[in-house]
Amino acid sequence: MSPIRFAIPKGSLEEATFKLLERSWTKVNRKDRTYRVYLDDPNIIVKMLRPQEIPTLVSEGLYDVGITGKDWVGETSADVEAILDLEYGKIRLVVAFPDKYKYKNLDEMIADYAKKKKTLRISSEYLTTASKFLKQCKSYKKYYGSKDPLIVTPWLRLGTNKNVQIHLSFGATEAKPPEDVDAIMDVTETGTTLKQNKLKIVDEVLTSTAHLIVNKKSLRDPQKREKIFDIVTLMRGAVHGRKYLHIYLNVEEQNLKKLLQQIPSLKKPTISPLSEEGWFGINTVILKEDFHKLIPKLRKIAQGLVVHEPRQILELEEIKRDEEN
């Protein structure tokens, strides 16, 4: 079988991606400056690329699988299957402008600029998302109909509506208003950069997290499909595992029933007799967020609590069902 080609993101998703790979496979080696990564599986060839390029590379079949932000899958309109939400790299794509402006949202700004015949300039890395967002604004439709906003890049200009312009940003987008542009469409995580640049969020365009994406043709190839589902299984186990704790505790027989009424589990807790009569060991997997709520109860009826963070929790039945569909 030809190996599976796997593209992973370089940049702000990089660190969390490596953490997840390390939980999913047992060895992850990285060769500095070559952007090549080696897993303990010779049938997976991994390379680091910019997340903005990954959806197109996967849709064109240069890579079978990739990790990138869902925002860039939409921006590039790549025909790929977003098979697994990896639940990190959580951001909001928002429209923002100087907090001293009186407009409540972009729609109001479009209307006012149109009335005053002023050119509206927006800076963004997300050219198609910005264009689509503008075109669905009520006042844009009212003043400009279905005309495409002018997209300005150093190489190309697209669209006919010179009154509303989207300028390609190469970064530091928040620094541009009010002198260079009137508004921005940019990613925010904590909101700090916007605040420090005295900008306010006026519209939320989308939210995004990192996803595992797959080439649709590879998914139809029986051999590749098998291997892709191995990857999905391992990574889904790691994503799932992060949310749980594996706990082990000892309990006296007289408290066993009470404990079982209170303790959560994935299916049912395992009960094993200890070598001392009248005592039992309980093994169970609980949600991390439930742990602190359990402590006051456990303190009163259990002994010797051991807590582990599971590397992976593999819901094999569920994954098998997905694979068969």
Which residues here bind ligand ATP, judged by CB under 6 A? 11-13, 51, 68-69, 71-72, 89, 91, 171, 187, 189, 208
Nearer to ligand PRP, 187 or 298 (CB): 187
Query: Which of ligand ATP, ligand PRP, none sits in contact with 51, Cβ below 5 to 8 A by type?
Result: ligand ATP
Nearer to ligand PRP, 15 or 226 (CB): 15
Nearer to ligand PRP, 201 or 266 (CB): 201
First to last CA, the chain: 23
29 counts as binding ligand PRP under rule CB under 6 A: no
Binding mask 183-222 for ligand PRP (x = CB under 6 A): ---xxxxxxxx-----------------------------
Q: How far is CA 206 from CA 24, 64, 133, 198, 273, in A?
A: 29, 26, 10, 22, 52
* Cβ proximity of 234 and 82 under 8 Å: no
Q: How far is CA 14 from CA 69, 158, 308, in A?
A: 11, 32, 26
**Binder of ligand PRP out of 172, 274, 295, 307 (CB under 6 A):** 172
Percent of the chain as helix, strand, coil, to the nearest 5: 35, 35, 30
CB of 253 to ligand ATP, least distance (A): 51
Q: Is 145 exposed, middle or buried (0-12, 13-18, 19+ CB in 10 A)?
A: exposed
Tokens of 42: 């010779």
Strand partners, 37: 30, 46
Query: Which of ligand ATP, ligand PRP, none sits in contact with 13, Cβ below 5 to 8 A by type?
Result: ligand ATP
Binding mask 105-144 for ligand PRP (x = CB under 6 A): ----------------------------------------
* Cβ proximity of 286 and 259 under 8 Å: no
CB of 258 to ligand PRP, least distance (A): 46
Give dist(CA 26, CA 42) in Å, integer.
13
CB of 192 to ligand ATP, least distance (A): 10
Interface ranges with ligand PRP (CB under 6 A): 12, 171-174, 186-193
